[in-house]
Amino acid sequence: MSIPAALARRREYCGPALFSYGFRPFFLGGAAWAALSILLWIPQYVGALTVPTALAATDWHGHEMIYGYGSAVIAGFLLTAIPNWTGRLPVCGLPLAGLAALWLAGRIAIFCSTRVGLGVAATIDTAFLVLLALVAMREIVAGRNWRNLRVLGVLGVLIAGNIVFHVEVIRTGASTYGLHLGIAAIVLLITLIGGRIIPSFTRNWLVRQNPGRLPQPFSRYDGLCVVASALALALWVFAPAFAATPFVLLATGLLQAYRLVRWAGDRTFADRLVLVLHVGYAFVPLGFLLTALSGLWPDHVPPNAGLHAWSAGAIGMMTLAVMTRASLGHTGRALAATPATQAIYAFAFAAAVLRIVSACTGDMTSLYLAATLWVAAFGGFAAVYGPWLVRRPPAWSAAH
Residue count of the chain, please give it.
400
- Give the amino acid at 47: G
Select from 144, 175, 206 the last residue of a domain. 175
103 and 209 belong to one structural domain? no
Cα–Cα distances (Å) from 271 to 302, 322, 344, in that order, read 35, 14, 15
pLDDT in tens, 24-50: 999 999 999 999 999 999 999 999 999
Span 147-156, average pLDDT: 88
Q: Are residues 203 and 117 in the same domain?
A: no
Measured between alpha carbons, how far is 79 from 188 in angstroms, rounded to an integer? Answer: 19
Mean pLDDT of 140-162: 89
* pLDDT of 394: 60
- Kindly state whether residues 151 and 241 are assigned to the same domain: no
196, 169: one domain: no
Question: Do 316 and 223 form a contact (C-beta atoms < 8 A)?
Answer: no
Report pLDDT digits (tens) over 65-86.
Answer: 999 999 999 999 999 999 988 8
Confidence at 87, pLDDT banded by 50, 70, 90 = confident
Question: What was the pLDDT predicted at 400?
Answer: 39
Question: What was the pLDDT predicted at 52?
Answer: 96
Q: For the whole model, what pTM was predicted?
A: 0.94
Question: Which pLDDT score is estimated for 114?
Answer: 96
Is residue 278 in a domain? yes
* Burial of 137 (C-beta count, 10 Å sphere; 0-12/13-18/19+): middle
What mean pLDDT is reported for the chain?
93
In a domain, 181, yes or no: no
Report the percent of the chain where pLDDT is more than 70.
95
d(CA 291, CA 305): 7
Instruction: For residues 297 and 304, give the distance between their C-alpha atoms in angstroms, rounded to a whole number.
Output: 13
pLDDT per position as a tens digit, 203-233: 999 999 888 999 998 999 999 999 999 999 9
Same domain for 385 and 279? yes
Mean pLDDT (whole number) for 265-274: 96
- Look up the domain containing 382 and give its range: 188-400
Indicate the pLDDT class of residue 399, thresholds 50, 70 and 90: very low
Task: Summarize pLDDT for 170-202 with one digit per residue, the tens.
Answer: 999 999 999 999 999 999 999 999 999 999 999
Same domain, 150 and 226: no
Same domain membership, residue 233 and residue 161: no
Residue 337 CA to residue 346 CA, distance in Å, equals 12
Domain boundary among 145, 175, 205: 175
Residue 384 lies in a domain: yes
Q: Do residues 112 and 54 make contact, with C-beta atoms less than 8 angstroms apart?
A: no
pLDDT of residue 398 exceeding 50: no
Residue 153 shares a structural domain with residue 40: yes
165 and 208 belong to one structural domain: no
- Domain count of the chain? 2
Residue ending a domain, among 175, 196, 222, is 175
Q: Are residues 165 and 308 in the same domain?
A: no
Say whether pLDDT at 396 is over 70.
no
Closest CA to 348 of 323, 324, 320: 320
Q: Is there a domain that residue 183 lies in?
A: no
Residue at 98 is within a domain: yes
State percent of the chain over pLDDT 90. 86
pLDDT of residue 216: 94
Judge if 360 and 257 occupy the same domain: yes
The pLDDT-based confidence of 395 (bands split at 50, 70, 90) is low
Please check whether residue 182 lies inside any domain of the structure. no
pLDDT of residue 11: 56
